[in-house]
Amino acid sequence: MPSGFNKEEQEHIKEKLQEAGRRLFGSVGLKKTSIKDLTEYAGIAQGSFYKFYDSKEVLYFRLLEKDEEEIKQALMIKFASEKTMDESVLAEGLIESIKQVEQYPLIRRLYTTDEYEKVVRKLPKELLEEHGKEDTVSLAPLLDQLKMEGKIDSQLSNDVVSGALRALFLMMIHKKEIGEEVYEDSLYFLAEAVAMRVFKEVK
């Protein structure tokens, strides 16, 4: 717990740092945002920043996690509202989630500029591993339910499905390499392929 501030002050400062991060990272990016910029907005000394976050990259990452959680929740709500869960519903939901990225400046910037490498390079390995595990945990209830209902293979690895979905989202980073003229069709193709594999006929 950050020393020198009471609980109310800590919450206020953290909120202000997050507000500053969203505004600055989203507009000028990680490289052009300094610790001084962030702390001036929050009204604290530069050294106090490190009582809340180990680096500006960690702050960026925590903001991304919040946005990703909103997208995941929206996806789970969509799936829960469907009368029948099948490969077409899964593929459609994945495409909708990827398109939602446009509504989130930080995630959009991360995937459409060179920001991704800059952020990931400075993050602790354990933080990335923790994030990967959380992806699997958030998806597990849906997959486990489908396994219990006999709709998908009970031996299908939740970790593998989670990894495949991350790979699908990471396509956005490689839009130019894939070819902008075929990117959207390729995205649909792979989303449908993942969905078909998940719902592969159970033997």
Indicate the domain borders of the chain. Answer: 1-53, 64-198
Give 103's pLDDT tier (boundaries 50, 70, 90). Answer: confident
The stretches of the chain forming alpha helices (DSSP H) are 7-27, 35-42, 56-81, 87-100, 105-112, 115-122, 125-148, 158-170, 175-178, 180-198
Its sign, for the CA torsion 167, 173, 175, 177, is negative
Q: Output the pTM of the full model.
A: 0.85
Per-residue confidence (pLDDT) for residue 126, from 0 to 100: 92
Question: CA-CA distance, 152 to 150, in Å (whole number)?
Answer: 6
Asked if 94 contacts 168 with a C-beta cutoff of 8 angstroms, the reply is: yes
Residue range 1-53, CATH number: 1.10.10.60
DSSP letter, residue 30: S
pLDDT in tens, 25-60: 999 999 999 999 999 999 999 999 999 999 999 999
pLDDT in tens, 146-160: 999 999 999 999 999
DSSP string, 40-51: HHHTS-GGGGGG
Per-residue confidence (pLDDT) for residue 172, from 0 to 100: 86
How far is the CA of 61 from the CAs of 4, 5, 53, 149, 162, in angstroms? 25, 24, 10, 36, 19
Question: CA-CA distance, 64 to 135, in Å (whole number)?
Answer: 13
7's tokens: 């609980």
